[in-house]
Amino acid sequence: MTISDEPGETASDAGYLRPGRFVDSDHPAVARFAARAGGAGDPCEVARRLYYAVRDEILYDPYVPLAAAETYRASAVLACGRGYCVGKAALLAAAARTRGIPARLAFADVRNHLATPRLLELTGSDLFIYHGIAELSLDGRWVKATPTFNLTLCEKFGIRALDFDGRSDAVFHPFDRAGRRHMEYVRERGAYADVPVELILPAMRSAYPRLFAAGAGGDFAAEAAAGQGEERADSP
């Protein structure tokens, strides 16, 4: 999967170091998190540590209220301790900016996303639109980092946790540990300095009315622990 830079765009402009409405890198809690989690070292090492902190300290939860603005705001995701792909990517981008690493958000539609039968029932599809990815400017290039699924959740679903070394793209594995289809990138939706909620919200409301509706919450980790994730992994 590739997402091209816009002509003439550089990592230092277009707001990639400035705080945004959702990538709120100026929030004190985000700054404290970035200072603690990033530690010392060169930008690649700091980015690597930030990635793992967001991946594993913030639990993946697809049942967050999709209509709420706080679901997409980095500081709110940090405070809650859980979020779905877009909110977790926003937090990683915000933490990176706090440490002086230009960061942005990229989006793609993915098929065969890690899911449970209940989540698939609520979405009505195995196509998940506007999957969020953080892109960090490191060593003169944009590097993709996907901190979506925390380690404990991956273990419950029998998939490899996605690692990041600060230099190579970290995007979803196409297959799980057993060689079964896990993830396919279907469509790129571009890169943005901040979360484009004006695009995401109406698209999600239209594609997943049941999941989008208030009160559609649940316990995704419990569903995975009950073995529903293994059932999903057998899907083609």
Q: What average pLDDT does this structure show over 182-200? A: 93
Q: Is the pLDDT of residue 196 over 90?
A: yes
**pLDDT number for residue 30:** 98
CA dihedral sign of residues 184, 186, 190, 193:
negative
Domain carrying residue 85 = 28-233
Residue 221 is predicted with a pLDDT of 85
Confidence (pLDDT) at 60 = 95
pLDDT at residue 6 greater than cutoff 90? no
CATH code of the domain covering residue 155: 3.10.620
Is residue 135 classed exposed, middle or buried when 0-12, 13-18 and 19+ CB atoms within 10 A define those classes? buried
Strand arrangement, sheet containing 141-145: 141-145, 127-138, 103-111, 184-192
The tens digit of pLDDT for each residue in 110-134 reads: 987 678 889 999 999 999 999 999 9
Answer yes or no: is 99 within a domain.
yes
Judged against a pLDDT cut of 80, whether residue 235 lies above it is answered with no
Domain annotation covers residue 18 = no
The pTM assigned to this predicted structure is: 0.89
- Supply the pLDDT for residue 201: 96
The answer to the question of residue 4 being in a domain is: no
Q: So what's the pLDDT on residue 179?
A: 63
Number of domains in the chain: 1
List pLDDT tens digits, range 45-54: 999 999 999 9
Q: Is residue 199 part of a domain?
A: yes
Q: What is the pLDDT of residues 7-33, one digit of tens each?
A: 334 445 557 999 999 999 999 999 999
Query: Per the domain annotation, does 6 fall within a domain?
Result: no
pLDDT at position 216, please?
67
Q: Is residue 1 a part of any domain in this protein?
A: no
